[in-house]
Amino acid sequence: MKKKIKIGVIPAAGSGKRLGYLSNLLPKALFPLYDRPIIHYVVNQMELLGIEDIYIIVNVYKEKIMEYFKFIKMDLRAKIHFIEQKELNGTANSILLAEKYTGKEPFIVIYGDDCTVTKSLQPMVDLFFEKRAVVVEGIVKEEDRKILQSTCSVKLKKDGQMIEILEKPEKPPYLFRGCGVYIFAPEIYEFINKTPVHPVRNEKEITYTINSIAKEGKAYGYIFDGENVNINDYNELLKASLYVKRKSED
């Protein structure tokens, strides 16, 4: 019998300021992605894996996210819970807020502004258990160096073991990009606690945490068979919507 992951975490505390007027009306996670909000797709992806409990990290316009899930409650199989991130101090810190809810269970994290269009995330789950990893991160090949400069650049071995991941590199050395999709073992919290706060941004970034895990040989990347968009502007929102539309038509 295949091992399953039962818990999901969705960091959705951001405002999406680069998306202009929409950010004055809605939290980024509720921006429209073709026929429903981005975060609705994320929840559906988790449900397809059999996730039973989903913890959503909220801050900006938290009431609107909570109201939306109250509205669609009858259509969901997973139980939705909310955790408030009172201080926007980095992705690693937002994940750390889930520690008392995930306990000693592995869990999946998908950002509330992530769009991953792929047949299934199950092979990523299988890789996590097969390698006994602390983290498996979703990866795509990325030819656009500007996108790599604003996200991250990853070096992998042939078996998927992660050698290095660099946050927002000025000159990206590798053409693989990490996505906002992760599977974590409970040991992740120890690594987050050891991660230093960025001296300029005053945040803990999960990329730095994962890089330290990679140095111990316990981080892996799973290359998606499909598309991924890190939605930060209108062009990316449109691109993601077209990917989702194409998949729905197929």
Residue-wise pLDDT for 127-143, tens only, equals: 999 999 999 999 999 99
124-181 pLDDT per residue, tens: 999 999 999 999 999 999 999 999 999 999 999 999 999 999 999 999 999 999 999 9
Any domain includes 1: no
Q: To the nearest whole number, what is the mean pLDDT of the chain?
A: 93
5-28 pLDDT per residue, tens: 999 999 998 766 767 777 788 889
- From the list 128, 153, 125, the residue with the least C-alpha distance to 49 is 125
Any domain includes 21: yes
- Residue 88 sits at φ, ψ, to 5 deg, of -80, 85
46: Cβ contacts below 8 Å, ≥ 6 apart:
8, 10, 54, 78, 108, 110
Statement: residue 59 has pLDDT above 70: yes
Which 8-state DSSP code applies to residue 78?
Answer: S
- From the list 10, 46, 45, 55, the residue with the least C-alpha distance to 29 is 10
Adjacent-strand bridge partners of 220? 136, 161
Confidence of residue 203 (pLDDT cuts 50, 70, 90): confident
Statement: residue 36 has pLDDT above 70: yes
Any domain includes 102: yes
Looking at the structure of the chain, the number of domains it has is 1
Any domain includes 2: no
In this structure, what CATH number is given to the domain that contains residue 144? 3.90.550.10
**Domain enclosing residue 37, as ranges:** 7-249
Residues 52-67, mean pLDDT to the nearest whole number: 95
Q: What is the pLDDT of residue 16?
A: 66
Longest dimension (CA), the chain: 49
Confidence of residue 51 (pLDDT cuts 50, 70, 90): very high
CA 61 to chain centre: 20
